[in-house]
Amino acid sequence: MDTSTSYLGLRLPHPFIAGASPMGRRLDSVKRLEDAGWAAIVLHSLFEEQITDATEGRIRHMDPLDRGFARELAYFPGAGDYPLGPDAYAEHVSHLKRAVAIPVIASLNGSSPESWLKFARIIEQAGADALELNLYEVVTSFAVPAATVEQKLAGIVTELKRILTIPIAVKVSPFFTAFGNVARRLEAAGADGLVLFNRFYQPDIDIKTMTPVVNVALSDSSELRLRLQWLAILHGRVRPSLAVSGGVATPDDGIKAILAGADAVQIVSALLRHGPTYLNAMRAGLERWMAWHHMEWLEEVRGKASLERVADAESFERAQYIRTLQSWLG
Ligand SMILES: Cc1cc2nc3c(=O)[nH]c(=O)nc-3n(C[C@H](O)[C@H](O)[C@H](O)COP(=O)(O)O)c2cc1C
């Protein structure tokens, strides 16, 4: 049985990748992932704010010496609160590349098409096999229209493609009015892969203190459905390879993601919950399922439940929506 796959032009023995998380911070935990058999690892992110702070002495448009920004700047962690500064991050990539054989995908996290992107060259020179660009942004301005936001995101990818030779995956949010068009624009900008989707860490509210509470909640399978829907819509219709990120909690979830059209399956919450050896269950589940269905190649599985052959996906989606509501038998 052959479960090998291609993601960002990287040939992988199977589709399961350790997604961006604290597991990438230390050499010993990356080694544990390699020993357990993970196909590749995405490192934790280096943030735009860290790079501009270190190289230009500002965070976003704010100069830390300007008292007018004291309140906004206090929201950000101090330079020493990040696990690795920009130079240390590049060194870390270089160490990892000497220590492990699995592909190492570095992660840059930001939202402006500015000078910090040049740091990507340093990460490439450090030996990263690919770059995942996390375009995390919550646009709160009432003056900026969606088209401007989308153009800016595509512009960041265009700029990076000009300076890099390694492949670039773009991790984006699902909250676009017409995500198919956004995917096309990222493709036209040169994106080699799309990671569906960023998970937003929406704050809760503490009713005792009446203040927002920020904490990381690990995901469960319920988050997968949104990803399945867009994988199924995009599969076969865009050139970049597709990775799922979000809600792959069980071996069945992994199979569903591939059936919808994923080339690679990124896992974080299940990895943090169960440890690196959870990969064995993910691989065994997929292989057992393929054997049961007499399938020998992952290619036979991929996209089998996608909308690739549906002529009018929009009508299909609408029909499924109506059917869903009608299916309630109460
Ligand atoms: C503790 C923690 C740290 C994370 N750090 C990063 C990060 O540095 N960069 C990033 O792009 N995503 C980060 N993520 C998001 C994950 O890569 C992933 O997209 C998200 O957890 C959804 O996948 P999952 O359902 O398998 O957990 C982090 C997630 C967790 C739980």
Question: With 80 as the cut, is the pLDDT of residue 180 above it?
Answer: yes
Mean predicted confidence (pLDDT) in 139-161: 94
Tell me the CA distances in angstroms from 61 to 52, 74, 84, 169, one per residue in order: 9, 14, 22, 26
pLDDT at position 61? 79
Cα of 316 vs centre of ligand 1, distance in Å, is 32
Instruction: Label residues 13-29 b or e (16+ Cβ within 10 Å = b).
Output: ebbbbbbbbebbeeeeb
Q: How far apart are CA 16 and CA 64, in angstroms?
A: 42
Tell me the CA distances in angstroms from 322 to 223, 294, 316, 318, one per residue in order: 21, 34, 10, 6
Atom of ligand 1 nearest to the CA of 22: 3
What are 38-71's pLDDT values in tens digits? Answer: 999 999 999 998 988 888 887 877 887 777 888 8
Question: With 90 as the cut, is the pLDDT of residue 261 above it?
Answer: yes
Q: Which of 23, 92, 268, 282 is the pocket-test mutation for ligand 1 (most atoms within 8 Å of CB)?
A: 268
Cα of 89 vs centre of ligand 1, distance in Å, is 18
Global pTM value: 0.95
Tell me the CA distances in angstroms from 53 to 56, 57, 75, 79, 136, one per residue in order: 6, 4, 14, 8, 18
Enumerate residues lining ligand 1, CB below 6 A.
Answer: 19-22, 44-45, 107, 109, 134, 171, 199, 216, 218-219, 223, 245-248, 267-269
C-alpha torsion sign, points 127, 93, 240, 276? positive
Q: How far apart are CA 64 and CA 79, in angstroms?
A: 12
Question: With 80 as the cut, is the pLDDT of residue 188 above it?
Answer: yes
Mean predicted confidence (pLDDT) in 153-179: 95
Question: Residue 310: which pLDDT band, with cuts at 50, 70 and 90?
Answer: confident
Cα of 255 vs centre of ligand 1, distance in Å, is 20
Q: How far apart are the first and last CA of the chain?
A: 44
Atom of ligand 1 nearest to the CA of 195: 19
Q: How far apart are CA 198 and CA 109, in angstroms?
A: 11
Q: 154, 110, 106: which is closest to 132 by C-alpha?
A: 106
Atom of ligand 1 nearest to the CA of 45: 8
Question: Residue 80: which pLDDT band, with cuts at 50, 70 and 90?
Answer: confident
Cα of 216 vs centre of ligand 1, distance in Å, is 9
Pairwise pLDDT comparison (277 vs 324), residue with the higher score: 277
pLDDT at position 254? 98
Atom of ligand 1 nearest to the CA of 44: 8
Nearest CA to ligand 1 atom 29: 21
Mean predicted confidence (pLDDT) in 249-258: 98
What are 275-298's pLDDT values in tens digits? Answer: 999 999 999 999 999 999 999 999
Nearest CA to ligand 1 atom 17: 20
Question: Residue 78: which pLDDT band, with cuts at 50, 70 and 90?
Answer: confident
Pairwise pLDDT comparison (319 vs 100), residue with the higher score: 100
Cα of 129 vs centre of ligand 1, distance in Å, is 20
Cα of 269 vs centre of ligand 1, distance in Å, is 8
Question: Residue 72: which pLDDT band, with cuts at 50, 70 and 90?
Answer: confident
